[in-house]
Structure 1
């Protein structure tokens, strides 16, 4: 058999093996995400900056509350017993208090469930999702509160023809925009990325 055919066969087998490993890894990741959602009572929670992926976070967090005590604005709360296996773990409810991205919670986490993030701009704990049907600016009223409260205006939220637009690439998920939204129901919600 010519050498070219042998090389092609090896390449074909390597590609097949990579595809198989990728498919298995994706299946394991999906199963872990589903297990974490069940452990959290089926709900996804907005975790503090630097949180590990949810399944690992739930296993690593000791529920000590040090991150909550380190939060100067009181944005980090601990889940109640009704949260099942996630009880006692930290979360942020941006409607109660948005994260100010100070970064003090990460070094306070001795077990490492919160990993240090080099800069506030690099935090990716959630994503702001805007519903134009509920947004005052899209209904013709002058409103740009979310834009002005965003820690990174013109990056994470831009105004396009007077209407807010979220840039997925730069949104930290801090919740400042949802915290100041005046529409009822809210035009902006924060979807956890973890």
Structure 2
């Protein structure tokens, strides 16, 4: 590893603790991602759904890097971002599950089903269907974290006044 990479990795570790963005599909481990991303924006430009945003100047060392906000615009996993990435920080994978960008979490306080109202909007919107969202007792949604890909379609489909679902980043691999 050259001195520039070593300095970049140390700067990332020092300035980005706890900051966790949801990266596009195929993103490598965060420290390596930040060190390798060319910050060219090609992934964002290739995203027809406009799901990929670019971190602004207030994000410190994360500035210029791509991220997703599934609560604003779900990812359709078209994988065009991987095709145009010149730095290799977005890589092709074997299975669709290995592209998971996050995991949905249900806030039962906001979920209509947990307030005895019939609703299964999240299940019907989920591209993984019953693999990722189980309806306990045919009513209460439960996320099967091992199958959820974090796309955010369930958030958009939620009809509660305050959406009952959020997506959190997948845990990253340790160095």
Alpha-carbon distance, 1:87 to partner: 0.7
Match in the other structure for 1:155: 131
Aligned residue for 1:154, secondary structure, equals: helix
Name the CA distance, whole Å, in 1 between partners of 2:157 and 2:130.
17
Contact 1:49 1:117 in 2 (8 A): no
CA root-mean-square deviation: 2.0
TM-score (norm 2): 0.84
Alpha-carbon distance, 1:96 to partner: 1.5
Aligned residue for 2:123, secondary structure, equals: helix
Gapped runs of 5+ residues in structure 2?
A: 1-9
Name the CA distance, whole Å, in 2 between partners of 1:118 and 1:104.
16
Match in the other structure for 1:99: 75
Moved more, 45-54 or 154-163: 154-163
Q: Does 1:66 align with 2:42?
A: yes
**Residue 151 of structure 2 is aligned with which of 170, 174, 187?**
174
Q: Greater Rg, structure 1 or structure 2?
A: 1
* Greater helix proportion: 1
Match in the other structure for 1:35: 13
TM-score (norm 1): 0.76
**Residue 51 of structure 1 is aligned with which of 27, 48, 54?**
27
Name the CA distance, whole Å, in 2 between partners of 1:170 and 1:84.
33
Point out 4+ residue stretches in structure 1 off by more than 4 angstroms.
none
Name the CA distance, whole Å, in 1 between partners of 2:128 and 2:53.
24
Gapped runs of 5+ residues in structure 1?
A: 1-31
Aligned residue for 2:61, secondary structure, equals: helix
Contact 2:70 2:150 in 1 (8 A): no
